Structure 1
């Protein structure tokens, strides 16, 4: 069996966590809504522009 590998630096469109959330739901209960929310304080602290950094 040969698997097609993604080139380096390319993220797959779904992570393993995303796939499991689709199958099991956000808290392990299929079809349940996701109760997690970003708190107002965390939203204030999260930068709007994230500098991707510089290569050396």
Structure 2
């Protein structure tokens, strides 16, 4: 059993990160990740992030 992290401190890797290392991005070990941003999603993604307002 591995030691549990102290409350308030996130672990270095998530369960998803560990699964991707072992199984690959699409559950095929050694396969490249075919995910890419489609042109429509890239167009709709904001280029700058509004930092918000101080009130």
- Fold shared by both chains (TM-score > 0.5): yes
**TM-score, normalised to structure 2's length?**
0.64
Cα-Cα RMSD: 2.7
Aligned partners of 2:50 and 2:14: how far apart in 1? Answer: 23
**TM-score, normalised to structure 1's length?**
0.63
Single out whichever of 10-19 and 33-42 deviates more from structure 2: 10-19
User: Rg bigger for which structure?
Assistant: 2
The reply to whether residue 31 of structure 1 matches residue 30 of structure 2 is: yes
- Give the number of equivalent residue pairs: 52
Q: Which runs of 5+ in 1 are unaligned?
A: none
Alignment of 1:4-15 (within 5 A): 4-7=5-8, 11-15=10-14
